[in-house]
Amino acid sequence: MGASTLLHPLDPISPTEIRTASNILIKVVDLLEPPKNEVLAWIANSAISVDRCARVYYHVATSPHLWKAVINVIRCVVVSQEELRDAQGPVDYTEWERVHNACNTHPDVLTEIGKLKLPEGAKVVNDPWSYGTDDGEERRRMFQCYMYIVLNDDPEANHYSLPAPFSPVFDAHTLELCWIDFLPLGTGSEITETQPWNAAHPVEYSERILGSEYFRQDLKPLQILQPEGPSFTVKGHRIAWQKWDFHLGWNLREGPVLNNVTYGGRSLFYCVSMSEMTVPYGDPRTPYHRKQAFDLGDSGFGLTSNTLELGCDCLGHIHYFDGFRCDAQGSPVLMNNVVCMHEVDQGIGWKHTNFRNNNSSVVRDRQLVLQYTATVANYEYILAFIFDQAASLHIEVKATGIVSTMPSRQGVQHEWGTTVAPGVMAANHQHLFNVRINPALDGQRNSIIYEDCIPVASSDPELDPFGNAFRVKPTTITQPGGYQLDVAKSRVYKIINPDHINQISGKPVGYKLHSIPSQMIMMGPSTFNYKRGVFASRPIWVTKYRDDELYAAGEFTNQSREDTGLAVWSERKENVENEDVVLWHTFGLTHVTRPEDFPVMPAEKMMVSLKPTSFFEVNPSNDVPRSNQKFNKSRLTDCSGCQRNDLRI
């Protein structure tokens, strides 16, 4: 027998398990989520044994293709093994480094670097990017290496401020240079031979480079004190806080995953996860037209997770979770502090003042935040699952980091982006996220409905003589598919359990999705951008649950030519009403870049929420102790030196 069975079936892959899987085969090793029926059986009775399996993506010397194996790490057997002739696996650290080194030492690349005639001490770094696709024919595993001039050895020197005007493409298997793309520097697609570098100052964010005089001096400390410690408890990956109870999974692709989420002992969700994210760029000039990252499928929000630092990423009392990846030899590598958990005070949760006597009841909005940061080369995503005391679950996304930069002839202004520093253009792009919700409201069978608010007068003037009435019109989704939002109708999607009726409202118990109405992918259905990310063409998707259908754009996105996820699953003709159903929400932002986004952009925040509706009989936070000074210990500012005009009665 191999690894321990003491683990929850959805616990992240453990070092022992990685070793067990890697003793057989190596490369990208992660937990293969067990079948749901086995997990549910285990949750009902943890004496039941659930085999734990690892999914392994790997390459072998004799084949240019991706191989995939499933290893049962309990029984130490290979469950399945196949050569995938038409898929590229995600990027792994080792190959990334090999390509990086191959690029930086290739004589042709060095020749181009030489033509730049860089000053003494300057170095050139390169970021191997997912190649994307533009012809559907290319089957080699390729990386597009974007190169940058770095003048400073400071570890926080901006690596993206001085983009070089050429971009080699490498074959990751052979490490051969396929060709060098010369980057257009003007408004059109014209390229020229590499010219000596037109010296420019990098725009820096390093505290050391900027020097202490650069910084504002008047920010005073603000600290969170929790004299009795935090309000949560943790057992392994099981977390309990304020009537919430859930299992925190974690994997290299999705990062943290919420499972078996309950509130007050009632089942809410089998799973909530960040499923995919794609970033198509809007610049048609070669090679930028291929630029379209799938930051979960290509890179992995888990694999690129930062090691979080105490006092930097959160205030207050912090609990951290670790993860594991494997190295090229198949040995487990500890990824320290990849998820942090802490409580925050988010202002007032609810308030009412009886104006007849001025007595106020105030409840504060205490929240539990599970947060992580994924660094995908230049860019950062800060993601969080946030729980509150009114039984709402929020999924927060902050987009920050350094925008992808392109070299530009100085003085040229581009219509595909904004000049963020002299000689540096940041192309406009979209970020389209997909969050996956497998609900289990009071049981595994739920329905998805949407409700529109519709005026009555035009259809029924007798009922509504003054024209003020409006109705809430529900539509039940019976078939899988992609569905639209409609702000003009205040359309709200709801998860309901049609078999459980709220005794007060007479309506089925439900949770509503507070969606983010967003511009969907702008590239048309004939483009590879669209075909690869069909999930980004509609804000709402509904499918019937099946094991292994986790990723909105399908399992393999790297150099993909089509979406093998929602594009396929949503086409099945099957019932999704009062079924084990999955709700997917695509949202995002079209980022028209600004100089203010450079060197590092202020975080752009988006929030999706799941809120109860007829799930409870009263405000679920009615039982939160009222806010008072004894508990909160606020301080009146010392107003010495303050002139208070308005008191001179």
Query: Residue 366: in which H helix or E strand, if any?
Result: strand 359-376
320 near its own copies (CB under 8 A):
yes
Supply 520's token pair: 């969907």
Residue of 159, 436, 532, 538 interacting with its own copies (CB under 8 A): 159
643-644-648 Cα angle (round to 5): 115
Tally of residues, the chain: 649
Of 105 and 468, nearer to its own copies (C-beta) is 468
Distances (CA, A) of 435 to 186, 282, 607: 38, 24, 11
Sign of CA dihedral 373, 374, 379, 381: negative
Of 165 and 620, nearer to its own copies (C-beta) is 620
**Which residues between 72 and 131 bind its own copies (CB under 8 A)?**
125
Of 107 and 215, nearer to its own copies (C-beta) is 215
463 near its own copies (CB under 8 A):
yes
Asked if 448 and 585 count as a contact pair (C-beta separation under 8 A), the reply is no
CA distance 117 to 182: 17
Q: Residue 148, SS3?
A: strand
Of 196 and 221, nearer to its own copies (C-beta) is 221
14 near its own copies (CB under 8 A):
yes
315 near its own copies (CB under 8 A):
yes
Query: Exposed, middle or buried, 537 (CB in 10 Å: 0-12/13-18/19+)?
Result: buried
Q: Residue 278 is which amino acid?
A: T
**Stretch of 21-29, 48-56, 205-213, 546-554 lying at the interface with its own copies (CB under 8 A):** 205-213
Of 464 and 499, nearer to its own copies (C-beta) is 464
CA distance 511 to 527: 36
Asked if 49 and 32 count as a contact pair (C-beta separation under 8 A), the reply is no
**Stretch of 41-49, 357-365, 549-557, 562-570 lying at the interface with its own copies (CB under 8 A):** 357-365
On the CB side of 573, CA atoms within 13 Å amount to 0
Residue 283 Cβ vs its own copies, minimum distance, rounded to whole Å = 7
Asked if 263 and 250 count as a contact pair (C-beta separation under 8 A), the reply is no
470 near its own copies (CB under 8 A):
yes
CB burial of 263-276 (b: ≥16 within 10 Å; e: otherwise) equals beebbbbbbbbbbb
Q: Residue 92, SS3?
A: coil
Backbone angles phi, psi at 384, to 5 degrees: -150, 140
Which H, E and C letters describe 461-503, residue by residue? CCCCCCCCCEEEEEEECCCCEEECCCHHHCCEEEEEEEEEECC
523 near its own copies (CB under 8 A):
yes
Residue 323 Cβ vs its own copies, minimum distance, rounded to whole Å = 7
Residue of 75, 317, 445, 546 interacting with its own copies (CB under 8 A): 317
327 near its own copies (CB under 8 A):
no
Asked if 351 and 363 count as a contact pair (C-beta separation under 8 A), the reply is yes
265 near its own copies (CB under 8 A):
no
**Which residues between 372 and 401 bind its own copies (CB under 8 A)?**
373, 375, 377, 380, 382, 388-392, 398, 400-401
CA distance 305 to 568: 30
* List of residues 6+ apart from 77 with CB closer than 8 A: 71
Residue of 107, 121, 227, 265 interacting with its own copies (CB under 8 A): 227
Supply 560's token pair: 């993909």
**Which residues between 18 and 77 bind its own copies (CB under 8 A)?**
none
Supply 380's token pair: 């950062």
**Which residues between 481 and 520 bind its own copies (CB under 8 A)?**
487-490, 492, 502, 504-507, 517-520
Residue of 314, 326, 393, 536 interacting with its own copies (CB under 8 A): 314
Supply 457's token pair: 């007068």
Measured from the Cβ of residue 299, the count of other Cβ atoms closer than 10 Å reads: 26
Query: By CB under 8 A, how many residues form the interface with its own copies?
Result: 209
131 labelled catalytic: no
Residue of 44, 62, 357, 573 interacting with its own copies (CB under 8 A): 357
Q: Residue 330, SS3?
A: coil
Of 70 and 453, nearer to its own copies (C-beta) is 453
**Stretch of 45-53, 204-212, 271-279, 553-561 lying at the interface with its own copies (CB under 8 A):** 204-212
Residue of 94, 231, 267, 479 interacting with its own copies (CB under 8 A): 231
260 near its own copies (CB under 8 A):
no
Asked if 49 and 33 count as a contact pair (C-beta separation under 8 A), the reply is no
**Stretch of 136-144, 191-199, 433-441, 637-645 lying at the interface with its own copies (CB under 8 A):** 637-645
5 near its own copies (CB under 8 A):
no
CA distance 634 to 620: 26
Of 50 and 582, nearer to its own copies (C-beta) is 50
Residue 320 Cβ vs its own copies, minimum distance, rounded to whole Å = 8
Helices 93-105 + 107-115 axis angle, to 10:
60
413 near its own copies (CB under 8 A):
yes
What separation, in Å, do the N-terminal and C-terminal C-alpha atoms of the chain show? 84
By C-alpha distance, which of 42, 46, 49 is closest to 1?
Answer: 49
Residue 170 Cβ vs its own copies, minimum distance, rounded to whole Å = 18
The residue from 181, 283, 295, 563 that is catalytic is 295
Of 297 and 401, nearer to its own copies (C-beta) is 401
318 near its own copies (CB under 8 A):
yes
225 near its own copies (CB under 8 A):
yes
Give residue 175's Cα distance to chain centre: 31
The residue from 131, 270, 281, 379 that is catalytic is 379
**Stretch of 22-30, 416-424, 541-549, 563-571 lying at the interface with its own copies (CB under 8 A):** 416-424
Supply 590's token pair: 């079209």
Of 323 and 480, nearer to its own copies (C-beta) is 323
527 near its own copies (CB under 8 A):
yes
**Which residues between 592 and 621 bind its own copies (CB under 8 A)?**
592, 594-603, 611-621
Residue 574 Cβ vs its own copies, minimum distance, rounded to whole Å = 30
Of 296 and 402, nearer to its own copies (C-beta) is 402
Residue of 11, 254, 442, 563 interacting with its own copies (CB under 8 A): 11
295 labelled catalytic: yes
Of 47 and 312, nearer to its own copies (C-beta) is 312
**Which residues between 421 and 460 bind its own copies (CB under 8 A)?**
421-422, 428, 451, 453-458
Active site residues: 295, 379
